[in-house]
């Protein structure tokens, strides 16, 4: 699954990246994690507050550091979603 953390590089954004990495590792879920700092790309998602989290192209969070429970929920839901064609 592809996970993107959108933000300009502030401490909250860096902490969100770390939280997503740690949670995925703890769950044993393989993710393709990208940090998006380009403001045009961030705005392309319609996000006005960072950090934001995008899972498989869907914005699941914007503004502030998410809780570990929320990250677990997103990763679990995305891992259980059937994928077509790779």
Query: Are the C-beta atoms of 29 and 73 separated by less than 8 Å?
Result: no
CATH code, 2-79: 3.40.30.10
Confidence bin at 84 (pLDDT 50/70/90) = low
**Residue 80: what pLDDT?**
83
> What's the pTM?
0.91
H or E segment at 76? helix 68-80
Span 5-63, pLDDT tens digits: 999 989 999 999 999 999 999 999 999 999 999 999 999 999 999 999 999 999 999 99
Span 66-76, pLDDT tens digits: 999 999 999 99
Higher model confidence: residue 82 or residue 21? 21
Q: Can you give the residue ranges of every domain in the chain? A: 2-79
Q: What are phi and psi of 72, to 5 degrees?
A: -60, -45
């Amino acid at each position: 699954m592809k996970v993107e953390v959108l933000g300009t590089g502030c401490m909250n954004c860096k902490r969100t990246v770390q939280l997503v990495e740690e949670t995925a590792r703890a769950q044993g879920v393989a993710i393709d994690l990208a940090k998006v700092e380009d403001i045009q790309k961030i705005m392309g998602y319609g996000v006005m507050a960072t950090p934001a989290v995008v899972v498989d192209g869907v914005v699941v969070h914007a503004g502030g550091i998410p809780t570990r429970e929320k990250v677990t929920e997103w990763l679990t839901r995305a891992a259980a979603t059937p994928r077509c064609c790779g």
